[in-house]
Amino acid sequence: MLSTAPAMLSTAAAVAPSWAARGRVALVTGITGQDGSYLAELLLNKGYIVHGIIRRSSSFNTHRVHALTTRMPSRLLLHYGDLSDGTALLQIVAAVRPDEVYNLAAQSHVMTSFETSEYTGDVDGLGVLRLLNAIRSVGLTNHTRFYQASTSELFGRVREAPQSETTPFYPRSPYGVAKQYAYWIVVNYREAYVMHA
């Protein structure tokens, strides 16, 4: 079981070492998912300090990163947060001051997105905007590299196979539409603010 001691699980308290004295620092949303846990392991093996954002929930769902937190407790730190909470994201980004942000968090179930369309749009679409704004607000626009996970659901109604960079988007679910918003807001912020995104 993962320790919930303040050093292991934070609400963005002072957990990051000084800017000059640290190695590369990554912030991973969706760290307890399959892709997030594999990414965390890869980054840790490359010598990164990894911070992950996990949602508060009734079940403590950290089984995918448990071995990593046990093996490297000083280099893998978890923070409570949610893409629907801009204040928490701002506090975490300010405390961590990441070199890289990997946004893998999402409500990613296509059929569920029809039942929870507003929540899906809030987390998968506006959550990306909140994360980008947190990076800007902390003054890391020219420093932090941002990766936004995407999906083939952007294409939805497939008109050509295989898809390429020129294939038009045609999302067919609230999930696909929210991810399309995420795609375009990242493009917009990259162009408007010269972010590495």
Q: What is the pLDDT of residue 41?
A: 93
pLDDT tens by residue, 157-180: 887 888 888 888 999 999 999 999
Query: Any idea what the CATH number is for the domain that residue 157 is in?
Result: 3.40.50.720
Position 12 scores a pLDDT of 46
Q: Which pLDDT does position 76 carry in this prediction?
A: 92
The four Cα atoms 33, 186, 99, 62 give a dihedral, to 10 degrees, of -10
The reported pTM is 0.85
Ranges of beta strands (E only) in the chain are 9-10, 25-29, 49-54, 76-80, 100-103, 145-148
Q: In angstroms, what CA-CA distances link 142 with 11, 43, 95, 96, 120?
A: 25, 22, 17, 16, 29
Assess whether pLDDT exceeds 60 at residue 123.
yes
- pLDDT confidence of 50, banded at 50, 70, 90? very high
Distance CA(37)–CA(23), nearest Å, equals: 20
Task: Provide the residue range defining the domain that includes 63.
Answer: 20-193
> What is residue 66's predicted lDDT score, i.e. its pLDDT?
67
Q: What is the DSSP string of 67-115?
A: HHHHH-TTTEEEEE--TT-HHHHHHHHHHH--SEEEE------HHHHHH
Name the average pLDDT for the chain. 86
Amino acid identity at 105: A
Please tell me which residue, 166 or 18, carries the higher pLDDT value: 166
User: Is 70 inside a domain boundary?
Assistant: yes
- Catalytic (active-site) positions: 151, 153, 175
Q: Is residue 157 part of a domain?
A: yes
Domain contains 129? yes
In a domain, 7, yes or no: no
Whether the CB-CB separation of 44 and 75 falls below 8 Å is answered with yes
pLDDT tier for residue 131 given thresholds of 50, 70 and 90: very high
Is residue 5 one of the residues assigned to a domain?
Answer: no
pLDDT band at 1 (very low <50, low <70, confident <90, very high): very low
